[in-house]
Amino acid sequence: MPSTSGIASRLAAVRARIDAAATAAGRAPHDVRLLLATKTQDAATVLEALDAAADLADRAGDPRPVLVGENRVQELVAKAPDLAAHVAAGRLEVHMIGHLQRNKANQLLATASCLETVDTLDLARALSARCARDGRELAVMVQVNVSGEASKSGVAPDHAAELATGVAALPGLRLTGFMTIGARAEDEAVVRAGFARLREVSDAVVASGAPGTAEARELSMGMTGDLELAIAEGATIVRVGTAVFGARPAPAAPPEV
């Protein structure tokens, strides 16, 4: 069925941006995955984007599942029934990219395979206990607030390595990397320095040789407005919403990030 929404063509344009930025940075396009940031989009729209993304990946010879990220557990749960078959078939992997309240841990575990926003050891311990009890594993990333902006979640960069080492040692959790939201700044050098800081944290943690840290190499950073800067600093996952889906309606409440 031909699409009239424009998602497929916008998605292709975003992928071209990513590929160009990777090439300019001397990196392989394959090293940077696109995560579809689907907050406020309904399930039908997410499925349309999934098909378009899977098609692009096929043509690029990329067998990995398409990545989707949600900000709110409520939305994850609402869309989960429509996505479940695709997850089971290995076509789709769902990440939580918004702040998680501890009392939503069970719903998270039922619907997502990676939580990108661990920012306290308390939260990690609660998830670890549930995973250990259920005999399962959850991939996690540590969210770092590289800009220091009060509106953003995440551990301070100076405490990120310590938190990551603590998280990596917990049973049931697999530390796969680090996530950040770039500074809201006009000056590209400021934004880029924040992304470089995340890479330095990751490099230091991996080099530490601490148990469970060897695979913490994912850097989830870069969005519609700053993905080129993030890729130049080593992003392995860029999280894109607006450039694929168009502008979101203004939220009634501030987004949980």
Please give the Cα distance from 17 to 41 (Å, whole number).
Answer: 22
Q: Which is nearer to ligand PLP, 57 or 235 (CB)?
A: 235
Which residue, 128, 102, 130, 238, is CA-closest to 180?
238
Site residues for ligand PLP, 63-82, by CB under 6 A, read 71
Binds ligand PLP (CB under 6 A): choice among 17, 33, 39, 72: 39
Does the protein bind ligand PLP through residue 242 (CB under 6 A)? yes
Does the protein bind ligand PLP through residue 240 (CB under 6 A)? yes
Position with the least CB separation from ligand PLP:
241
**CB of 164 within 8 A of CB of 201?**
yes
Please give the Cα distance from 215 to 202 (Å, whole number).
Answer: 10
Q: How does 211-228 read in b/e, with b if 16+ C-beta sit within 10 Å? A: ebbeebbbbbbbbbebbb
Count residues near ligand PLP (CB under 6 A).
15
Site residues for ligand PLP, 209-228, by CB under 6 A, read 223-225
Q: Which is nearer to ligand PLP, 37 or 100 (CB)?
A: 37
Site residues for ligand PLP, 147-176, by CB under 6 A, read none
Does the protein bind ligand PLP through residue 255 (CB under 6 A)? yes
Binds ligand PLP (CB under 6 A): choice among 65, 154, 194, 241: 241
**CB of 7 within 8 A of CB of 245?**
yes
Find the shortest distance in angstroms from Cβ 132 to ligand PLP: 28
**CB of 94 within 8 A of CB of 75?**
no
Q: How does 43-79 read in b/e, with b if 16+ C-beta sit within 10 Å? A: eebbbbbbbbbbebbeeeeeeebbbbbbbbbebbeeb
Does the protein bind ligand PLP through residue 97 (CB under 6 A)? yes
Judged by the rule CB under 6 A, the positions of this chain that interact with ligand PLP are: 37, 39, 71, 97, 181, 223-225, 239-243, 255, 257
